[in-house]
Structure 1
Amino acid sequence: MKKSKFKTILGKIKPYAMPGIITCLVMVVILILKGIWPFGNERIDYFDNMQQVAPLYAHLWDWMHGKASLWFDWYTGLGTNVSMSISAFSMLTPFNLLLYVIPRNYILESISILTIVKMVFMSIAMYSLINKKYNNLIYGLKVAYSCMYAFCGYVILYGSCFTPWMDIVAIFPIVIMAYDHMVETGKKMFYICMIALSFIINYYLSAMAVIYIFLICGIRMILMQEKNRWKETAWNAGIGTFGGIGLSAFVLVPVFAQLSSSQRGGAGKGILSQYIGWVTSSVVTDGAMAALQRWMMLYGLAFVIAVIVTGIRKYRKDRKELIYVVAMLVVALGPVIMEAANLMWHFGSYNGYTLRNGFIIAFTLICIAAGYSERMFINEPLKTVAYIRQGIFAVIASAVYVMIYNILPVNNEMKALAFFTIVFVAMFIIYMLMITGKKHKFNPKSLISIMIVELFIGAYALIGPPKFYTYEDYQIGDYVQYANNVSDSLDIDESATDRIVNPDISLNANYPLILRRGALSSFTAALQNDTQSYAKKWGYSKYFLWLLDSGGTVFTNSILHVTEAVNINELDSNLFTLKKKEGDYSLYSNNYTLPFGFCIDDSFSKLDMTNVDWITYHNRFYKAMTGDSESLVTRIYPESANTGNINTMTISVGDRSALYMSIADIKKPNADANASALDSSMHVYVNGEAVLVPTLGDVKNTAYFTDYNNNLLYLGIFENEEVEIKVEYDKTKYMKQSRITVGCLNMNKMESLCAKFSEPDKQTEVSYTDNTLTVNINGDGTNNYALIPVIHSDNWKVTVNGRIVKTKEVAGLFTGVQLQTGENTVAFTFVPKGKNTGMMITMFTLITIIACLVINRFRKINVPVWAKKCAEYIYIGLFAVIVVAMFAVPAVTTIPSAIYHIIVK
């Protein structure tokens, strides 16, 4: 009896398991052939998986093991709110439970395992939907379509770049199953739960998915439902969606609270001017990589499109179904050919990833094809020998392709696009000829081998770093491994407040998360919206969403409480003392340190710090800290002589001083380096020796400035001598476009400053937990205003001696706190803005849902007809507006815009 029951259960599971098994086997074969971990030393990752995802997953790993707060990261950006990253990087997903059992220093390598698991789930989830919705479809096609979804262009192209998006791709078929169940039965609970789970995992892709559901629901209502059902569908869709969003509010509210004040949430143009910009955009402006991404979304779907074309021709007399299919195709393919629709689906803009909702294309086309296939094809048996032949053909064809691919030289994106287009077109022609051939009755099972080869060609090329792309140094590298290695080999201590610096940026930006060591450096895209600009005023480099260690001075390092440095390039022994060297990297102690927090007169907080440069910052802070009327940094106006493309300056240095210099583009002073004509166009020489300008991928670079090193250059320490500085420009005309700033930092004053604050009454006692900081600091009656080197934000609750106090942002990188005379205990507690509100909304939604379920069990809840009618009118009205704005207007403007961009621009 038990054996029979087990066989019954196994029989039910087996059909669902098959697509997952096939997906897993194909992926394992690819990893083995390409030597990707755990079957070799290569990795699946590049781009954001390497530089953002893996470091943030290290933070997630720490939280899972009780070593960090989920909401806050002490290590990057002088302390960073990661509320937004929780959802943007899909941290709270069931798939990430795997990270718990993976060693921390193998997180980056394990992305290959995570990708396989997610892809297996994708195929099983898609099979579940197809089996439910198209139950009469041939089993072989159910499996094939499920695997096509798992190996669609979106997954194989983006999976190795940004694995967090794959979580939504994996559960999306289940979300649609829940939506179908709600529309068919009126029961909303399944849909509410799936919407909630989706938004908890990733708010960005979930919002895109909700737009899709809104559109297909409107199409379904208008074309496929009786009008008297519209109000019911509109009500259920609205309540179900908002119910799910309400349940996820404990994550969403902190996300949007941070987004509104972060570097990603800057204010833009008015909505009308933005819309005009969207509808006048065009796909013809795509670069090679953007074009590849756009059209690769169709890869692997040649059979699907052949079925759709055949189905439309065969069943075109069914006008309602034809209009429905066309409408669904417009929704799915509109963003591919109409950039305006794509931009609107991306909420106005995107960077780097052209179609972040591209999985919807594969999903929609597969569903349409499944519907047609159910009617077009019957389940005819295929002889065993035919399966054997197909298997042999698939293995040989795939093996030949692997051998050819492995010996190919590195190509460019356009050649890759041409190759994949040829493969797609060839497959499409084969499928069309087979499907529409008149000489024999078509059996789709006879094409399984061709489908396998088509999917394998794309997957083998794109799983892991592909050959066709020329990578920038920040997109591919071993930065996480470097950080893991230096942490172990150099015995770097963990600390949130004893900070570290990597002046040659050889560890990239997010190394503090790997080292568990506080630093200024950050690329979590979660900084306060003005942190980057203030750091630049202090002399540090910035690029896009990066905040970098390159730049700064001995003074800035000291007031930020930098106690150590890790570097490949040798550091000046005047500033740092070598502690240990292993391999390429060395660990240094900082010779000039100040306490973590210091006191000044409270009048300092009233100074306007918004429009001053690094020299003014240094002098104001120094004078406030010491009471010295003289400046720490002297602004130098050296005599200069221009000879051709060389500007020569001579500086007379008296007291022992450190020289710092920056060169800015007068035309674009606040733009990133790559937006300036001066990018890497200058070389600086001091007394005849070239000054290093280390940048990502080249620590021995001497070209100034670069994306990753574009602010202060340290020229050395000099005393009682003439210093000759030469700036050699690539082009003479760049001289007039550049503004040179030179500052002379008095090292004698710097030594006196450090000596003064080494006195017992100036020292601070610091302790911290995952989300708290306690600083014991003395106020002397005159200097009763503390500057703590922590980024000011509304997320901090600050108390002084147990009483809550107001704080103030000072110079962008400090939090100012009013003290009492004598001993003070300043306590910071991190409470994410919106967390409590979000929890209240979640609890209210949950209680309401439970109450409704209980009441409905004993007495059916009858929603007033007027309420449902209101929902219907709102839905239809909103649907009409979105269809016109998102598809109708772009359809009209797409061709004129393309002509304009081609001819005029």
Structure 2
Amino acid sequence: MRKGLKYMASAFSAGGLLLILYAMKGLFPFGEFTVSWCDMNQQVVPLLCEFKDILEGKGSLFLNLQNAGGMNFWGVFLFFLSSPFTFLVAFVEKWQMMRFANLLVLLKVMLCAGCASVFFDRSFPKLRPVFAVMLSVSYGLCGYTMLFYQNMVWLDMMYLFPLFLLTLQRLARIGSIVPYAFCLAAMIVVNFYLGYMLVLFLILAAGTWILFFSPREIRGQRTVQLAAGTLGAALLSAVAWLPSLLQYLNSARGGSLLQSLSGGNFIAPLSTIGMLLLCTAVILPSFLFQALRCARGEMTDPWETYTLLLFVFMLIPVIVEPINKIWHTGSYQAFPGRYGYILVLLGLCLAAWILQRPGRPLCCRSSALWASVLFLLLGAVIFAAFFLWNHYPKTLTAYTRTLWGNDQSLRIFLIFFLLSAGCCGLGLFLYRHRLLSRRLLAVCLCVLTAAESLFYGTCFFVAKSDQNFVNVIRLEDRIDDDSFYRVKNNKKNYDVNLTGAIGYNTLNHYTSLTGEDYMHGVRKLGYSSYWMEVSSVGGTLLSDALLNHKYTIYRQAPLEGNTVYSDGEYSIRQNDFVLGLGVVTGADLAKEEELELTARPYAGEHLLRTLAQSGQSIVREHAPTDLYNLSLTRNGAYYNLSREGGGDSMIEYQIPAADETRTYYFDCFDSLQNNLNEPYYKAFSIYVDGELVCKEYPTQSNNGIFELAVCANQPVRITVTVHKDVSVRSLGVFSVSHESLSQTLASMRSAQLETGRDTVSGTATAQADGEYLFLSLPYDKGYTATVNGQTVPIRRVFDAWMAIPLTEGENAITLRYRPQGFAAGAVMAAAGIVFTLAAGWFLSRKGRRIRPLEKPAHVLLFCLTVGVFTVIYLMPPVVYIVSRLISG
């Protein structure tokens, strides 16, 4: 019972401090603000809304049409949502989801502290309860929480890790494998991506212990038990990691490992990653104290030496950037130090070794002089917190605006850290030298923990309004249409995943699992995209019709005849041109695996004319009328613009009136790479009839084909101001004929299809054998197709889409979807349960050993540990240094 109270005290102390922070910043439930920002806005909260739909039977955990045109949601769930707390969304209204995020963070931080308390209680039995609570709260509100709480599922890894260490200790001491296997499997299921880092740590930690610290007579036995438990965990979690890994490998998140390791700086971005240590002041003085003891040979407990060694292992990547990159699978766009919770807990273990009751008695009365100095220093820490926040709030919150600290913020944080670390170091020194009582030390450390938690929390926890989110949520269920359709955005007025969050099928998607082929396909058709984000912004009337964009969301737009909903802030309009989900064509789609990377408006025309088997021209390219201080040349596939003279460089298009309605577009595009920025970004300002319609184009959020105007029987003047020289594949003004498009669409044969849970079914009539059914669903190997009861192959066509062969006459079509690798993973998981329980029972029985396996297992573990250490710690710096020497 007393232990339970200790664990609860840790959890509620951390929760109480966080609630105080919430009250200070006006956060829900004390105000209307939310802690949601960055990835929580862009990914976590919208995906929570979609998961609520799944729980209510409105969607599927496998095939999700509300993302990326239709994608595997299983990997997305395991990447962002795989937490028991996620199921609480069933009791929350969507419009409250951003505020509910405050409570999710609170609950997870409390659980982090509670689980850490269990760990310190079991691992350090001589540690006083007050110190255990203090260290647990420090873990729950450490730098990892401050930097990464917006990726909420990472906090699940954080609260599971202390329990995992306990199971690892239990395996090392008594050979118990079942708790270890199930805990490791749970962490991999919670987040398979961070599970990679956990496995690296496991290999280093387990290998180091068994090879160098465990008693020689049981090394072989423990190696076999470790192997059995790890194999069991791999099998148990296979239903998560196998399909997720396959989906990850097909994503656009790639690049050259050697190029990544060769680039950048040798020293990690300490202004950001360094906060993992700076936010918990007790760690650094504890490390220095323990390192000094180790150097003097004063450490008698091998677990103490072992903990220090593991801390050094995890400290190195925080300092050396090439090693840090390899811990992140070779590269990262932001959030360095995603393994940081491991470092923090190991650092707090070093502090726990110091704070444990030693064999000799400590003083009962403190030195008044030294106690006064200590508490004077503590007062300076508290004063510094108020002073620094009141004088440098913008500098201290740089991370919440850019995802990166800077030199100025680091300098200010170092002032507070040095005061805090000095206070901690002095307190520990006095305590160990019998100059300070345990009670005064406890008071000092508890006050210091509260002060740094609130100070850093003020700097790293945001307070944002959720009003725009609520306005978007109001758009849900505003379209009365039972057919299959997609909804697009005319501009990026909100985070792209929100369109799916309100229940509409869309091309929009932003997670690390966005498919590479899909991203390339939609970019070639003229839609906006960068990094791992794909947006429905852009495109043309042709691509919108092909991809079922029946409705468009506008913001603060005037009412028109095709408006189906408007609330003054957002409106939804029905589009004039749209095709169904499936189109029957006599074209030989076996020859159309990829679209040519050329002027993008022509890509959509080629796709449409191929499917329609029509020679009718729909897209027209308009030549410039005048060039001012500018030269425009064509060199092969590239358009080259070079500014000349001293005045403004401009391109002017004087387009006479057409005898039909045409929509005019401007495009500038070159590379399919998913870079955050391109050299040609912000190269143009665009005017239509003298009115500025786009100040900067293209940009990160608007790099699709830009719609200029819709004109019927009237001339149009388009002026493009050029701000930089560019060399690109697609450039210029194009227009689309409404009449020609309408005629082409009318000539096409649509299939009668409907979507269900993980299925697409219906009928399609072919005029001859060898015709195809084109489906505007992104290609995925998880689909199986049957035509008239016979399984048929599915072709990837036009980069991203699917085609199914038909036979003459009416064809009954069924597509079923299961994530690739899911079935095999489920079988492996079932086998894993049996294997883990059987191996646990057999290997735990006294005297039971598999001696023939012990030596090979020991050799294998040695090779694995040395190999991982070489690849993680030796290879990256060598690659970096050699590349620098070669480049001069």
State the TM bucket, normalised to the shorter chain: 0.7 to 0.9
* Worse-matched range after superposition: 405-414 or 33-42: 405-414
CA deviation after TM superposition for structure 1 residue 706, in Å: 0.5
**How far apart, CA to CA, are the structure 2 residues paired with 1:396 and 1:819?**
79
Distance 2:709 2:651 in 1: 19
- Pick aligned residue for 2:35 from 39, 44, 52: 44
Specify the alignment match of 1:795 in structure 2. 782
Give the structure 2 partner of residue 364 of structure 1.
346
Change (3 A) 1:292 1:445: farther
For residues 456 and 422 of structure 1, the distance between their equivalents in structure 2, rounded to whole angstroms, comes to 18
Question: For 2:99, what is the secondary structure of its paired residue?
Answer: coil
Q: Does 1:594 align with 2:579?
A: yes
Change in Cα spacing, 1:879 to 1:396, as seen in structure 2 (3 Å) is closer
Q: Secondary structure at the match of 2:145?
A: helix
Determine the structure 1 residue equivalent to 2:531: 544
- Pairwise CA distance, 1:860: 6.7
Alignment partner of 1:565 out of 549, 552, 564: 552
SS at match of 2:509: coil
2:277 aligned residue: 298
In the alignment, the residues of structure 2 paired with residue 279 and residue 714 of structure 1 have an alpha-carbon distance, to the nearest angstrom, of 41
Q: Name which of 712, 716, 740 aligns with 2:731.
A: 740
Question: Which shifted more, 448-457 or 518-527?
Answer: 448-457
Distance 1:409 1:224 in 2: 48
* Aligned residues of 2:768 and 2:807 also touching (Cα < 8 A): yes
Identity rate, percent: 20
Question: Could you say what secondary structure the match of 1:262 adopts?
Answer: coil
Structure 2 CA distance for partners of 1:494 and 1:310, relative to 1, 3 Å = farther
Q: What is the deviation of 1:775?
A: 3.1
* Structure 2 CA distance for partners of 1:798 and 1:655, relative to 1, 3 Å: farther
**Is 1:704 aligned to residue 697 of structure 2?**
yes
Q: Which moved more, 1:13-22 or 1:878-887?
A: 878-887
CA deviation after TM superposition for structure 1 residue 378, in Å? 5.9
Residue 42 of structure 1, CA deviation: 0.8
Alpha-carbon contact 1:43-1:112 (below 8 Å) kept = yes
TM-score (norm 1): 0.86
Matched residue SS, 1:451: helix
Shift of 1:529: 1.6
Paired with 2:364 and 2:262, the residues of 1 have a C-alpha distance of 51
Aligned-pair distance for 1:623? 3.1
Preserved CA contact (<8 Å) 1:300 1:454: no
CA separation in 1, counterparts of 2:489 and 2:326? 40
Q: Which amino acid aligns with 1:670?
A: L
The alignment yields a C-alpha RMSD, in angstroms, of 3.6
* Contact 2:221/2:854 (<8 A) preserved: yes
Secondary structure of 2:707's aligned partner: strand
Corresponding position of 2:68: 77
- Map 1:820-899 → 2, pairs under 5 A: 820-852=807-839, 862-888=848-874
Structure 2 residue aligned with 1:443: 437
Q: Distance in 1 between matches of 2:755 and 2:447?
A: 56
| Amino acid of the structure 2 residue aligned with 1:258 | Q
Alignment partners' CA distance in 2, 1:24 and 1:238: 38
Q: Which runs of 5+ in 2 are unaligned?
A: 399-405, 630-646
- Report the 3-state secondary structure (helix = DSSP H, G, I; strand = E; otherwise coil) of the residue aligned with 2:277: coil
Paired with 1:301 and 1:204, the residues of 2 have a C-alpha distance of 26
Whether the 8 Å contact between 1:59 and 1:73 is mirrored in structure 2 is no
679-688 or 668-677: bigger deviation: 668-677
Contact 2:487–2:549, Cα closer than 8 Å, also in 1: yes
| Change over 3 Å in CA distance of 1:424–1:621 after alignment to 2 | closer
Amino acid at match of 1:250: V
Q: 1:504 aligns with which of 476, 486, 491?
A: 491
SS of residue matched to 1:530: helix
User: Take 2:440 and 2:616, find their aligned partners in 1: how far apart are those partners?
Assistant: 87
3-state SS in 2 of match to 1:823: strand
C-alpha distance in 2, partners of 1:653/1:378? Answer: 97
| TM-score, reference length from structure 2 | 0.88
Classify 1:559/1:506 alpha carbon distance in 2 versus 1 (closer, same or farther; 3 Å). Answer: same
Q: Distance in 1 between matches of 2:483 and 2:226?
A: 47
Q: 1:555 aligned to 2:542?
A: yes
Q: Distance in 2 between matches of 1:854 and 1:361?
A: 33
**Structure 2 counterparts to residues 474-623 of structure 1, below 5 A:** 480-487=469-476, 491-492=478-479, 497-568=484-555, 570=557, 577-607=562-592, 609-613=594-598, 614-623=600-609
Are the counterparts in 2 of residues 495 and 518 from structure 1 also a CA contact under 8 Å? no
The residue type equivalent to 2:737 in the other structure is N
Q: Structure 2 matches for 1:416-431, cutoff 5 A?
A: 416-431=409-424
- For 1:104, the equivalent position in structure 2 comes to 94
Q: CA contact under 8 A between 1:501 and 1:549: conserved in structure 2? A: yes
Q: Report the alpha carbon displacement of residue 252 of structure 1 after superposing the two structures with TM.
A: 1.2
Name the counterpart of 2:213.
224
Distance between the aligned counterparts of 1:279 and 1:313, measured in 2?
35
Give the aligned residue type for 1:716: A
Contact kept in structure 2, 1:45 and 1:111, CA below 8 Å? yes
Question: Distance in 2 between the 1:513 and 1:381 partners?
Answer: 64
Question: One-letter code of the match for 2:165?
Answer: I
Confirm or deny: 8 A CA contact 1:771 1:829 kept in the other structure.
Answer: yes
Distance 1:40 1:396 in 2: 31
What is the distance in 2 between the residues matched to 1:853 and 1:899? 50
Q: Are positions 1:158 and 2:148 aligned together?
A: yes
What's the offset of the Cα at 1:493? Answer: 5.0
Residues 151 and 455, structure 1, Cα contact 8 Å, conserved in 2: no
Q: Cα offset for 1:535?
A: 0.7
Match for residue 315 of structure 2 among 322, 333, 354: 333
The DSSP-based 3-state class of the residue aligned with 1:744 is: strand
Question: Once the two structures are superposed, what CA deviation does each residue of 1:803-843 show, in whole Å capped at 9, x if it has no partner?
Answer: 22212122234321222333333222111110111111112
Q: Which amino acid aligns with 1:876?
A: F
Provide closer, same or farther for how the CA distance between residues 626 and 217 of structure 1 changes in structure 2, counting only shifts above 3 A: closer
Match of 2:134 among 144, 150, 155: 144
1:818 and 1:500 map into 2 onto residues whose CA distance is: 28
> When the two structures are aligned, how many residues end up with a matched partner?
852
Is contact 2:378-2:448 (8 Å) kept? no
Question: Residue 122 of structure 1 corresponds to which residue in structure 2?
Answer: 112
- 1:768 matched to which residue of 2? 755
8 Å Cα contact 2:147-2:460 kept in structure 1: no
Q: 1:131 aligns with which of 121, 142, 153?
A: 121
- Given that 2:758 and 2:816 are in contact with CA atoms closer than 8 Å, whether structure 1 keeps it comes out as yes
Is 1:238 aligned with 2:227? yes
Taking the aligned partners of 1:874 and 1:497, their CA distance within structure 2 comes to: 55
- The alpha carbon displacement at 1:686 in A equals 2.3
